[in-house]
Amino acid sequence: MQKTHSMSVIGLGSRFSAWLRYVGLSMPIMIMFVILAMVPLFTKNEYVFRLLLMSLFFGAQAMAFDFTTGFINVVNFGFAGFRGLGAYTSALLVINLGLSTWLGFATGAVAAGILGFLTGLLTLRLRGIYAACMAWFVQLALMGLATVNVNLTRGALGLTVPAALDTTSTAPYLYILLLMSMGIYIVLSIMINSNLGLAFRAIGQNLLAARTSGINPTRYKLINWTVACTFAGLLGGFYAHFIGILTPDIMHFKHTVEILALAYIGGRGTLWGGLVTAFLVIPVFEYLKPLMEIRLIIYGMLLVLAMIFYPRGFAGILQKIGEMIKR
């Protein structure tokens, strides 16, 4: 009887491990999420909370960005525009219609997803740089609309946004963003580990071969693109109700470059590479505030160095270290 009980426990353990692998929750990622959840238990330093929150915010965006560029090989140059659309949609609905902030997050995500779907529908049939350029033009148009519609968005003066929580502490927001990031990571990992993921990889590696094997590239690229834009809008809605003020600068192209650099430096096609890299890069930039005006140059230098010396990015370095430890 004891042997049967032990076998059942082992069976449950193996099934649990298989489920963790399926959703992409490897041990390092789980440890990182657990540590983030436990930080508020050991310190009350608001500066630390805010630093961790911004690192997680950029890392979550890098995951959504890498879902597109790392698997279907299409760069979303309009990523910041979709994030800004989610932020403004959530803020305006909460302010003008009295919607709850939680529904605001959802509507911001839906608005960004719908616009992403329409943008992809027009451009993802094309090859090369066309989809990336069209997304960039959409971003410029959204930024222009937010600037000129002063009666609605207050333009460059800034729109004051109600806070999601009635607290001055950053810790509750950190927990909300942590749950969002875990949800985004799990959803994207499940998609990558399914037949959808196989189609995404096939399209990203060789579009003609994927089409020859019976895959409809446009349909799968459209699914991928729409999901990434939806999560960009969700994170934008969170940002609006955390920061408390919105300006059209949230849609500036420089913010897309920041996310792109994190995704590439972290390692394309890994999802978690950009997430981990954000916790290394964002705190360093925080301590180098006098250099913030040239941060895009620094991002560019890091990107070039990573592509020349280690194209697999930071995730590749960690994987190599893990292989060496196993050996």
Assess if residue 11 is contained within a domain.
no
Residues 215-232: tens digit of each pLDDT? 899 899 999 999 999 999
Assess if residue 18 is contained within a domain.
no
For residues 101 and 83, give the distance between their C-alpha atoms in angstroms, rounded to a whole number: 16
For residues 198 and 202, give the distance between their C-alpha atoms in angstroms, rounded to a whole number: 6
**Among candidates 85, 91, 54, 57, which has minimal Cα distance to 241?**
91
- Residue 245's DSSP bridge partners are 160
Q: List C-alpha distances in Å: 38 to 35, 97, 165.
A: 5, 37, 20
DSSP 78: T
**Cβ–Cβ < 8 Å for 241, 90:** yes
Assess if residue 2 is contained within a domain.
no
Prediction pTM value: 0.89
Residues 122-161: tens digit of each pLDDT? 888 876 677 788 889 999 999 999 999 999 999 888 899 9
Categorize the per-residue pLDDT at 13 as very low, low, confident or very high, splitting at 50, 70 and 90: low
The reported pLDDT for the residue numbered 115 is 95
Q: Is the pLDDT of residue 6 over 60?
A: no
DSSP 244: -
Residues 127-138: tens digit of each pLDDT? 667 778 888 999
Assess if residue 9 is contained within a domain.
no
The proportion of the chain whose per-residue pLDDT surpasses 90, expressed as a percent, equals 47
**Among candidates 71, 111, 77, 83, which has minimal Cα distance to 191?**
71
Six token digits for residue 181: 């990031």
What is the separation, in whole angstroms, between the first and last Cα of the chain? Answer: 38
Assess if residue 274 is contained within a domain.
yes
The reported pLDDT for the residue numbered 290 is 66
Tell me which of 8-12, 177-181, 202-206, 320-324 is least confident: 8-12
**Cβ–Cβ < 8 Å for 259, 61:** yes
Collapse the DSSP code of 132 into the 3-class scheme (helix H, G, I; strand E, B; otherwise coil) and give the result: helix
The reported pLDDT for the residue numbered 61 is 96
**Cβ–Cβ < 8 Å for 110, 55:** no
User: How many separate domains does the chain show?
Assistant: 1
Mean of the per-residue pLDDT values for the chain?
A: 86
Assess if residue 189 is contained within a domain.
yes
For tokens 């879902």, the residue is 67
Sign of CA dihedral 105, 279, 196, 253: positive
Q: Which amino acid is at 117?
A: F
| Rounded-to-10 torsion of CA 139, 141, 145, 147 | 70
Collapse the DSSP code of 246 into the 3-class scheme (helix H, G, I; strand E, B; otherwise coil) and give the result: strand
Binning the chain into helix, strand and coil, the percentages to the nearest 5 are 80, 0, 20
DSSP E strand stretches across the chain: 159-160, 245-246
Assess if residue 8 is contained within a domain.
no
> Which domain, by its residues, includes 205?
26-326
The reported pLDDT for the residue numbered 53 is 94
Assess if residue 1 is contained within a domain.
no
Six token digits for residue 302: 């890091």
For residues 321 and 314, give the distance between their C-alpha atoms in angstroms, rounded to a whole number: 11
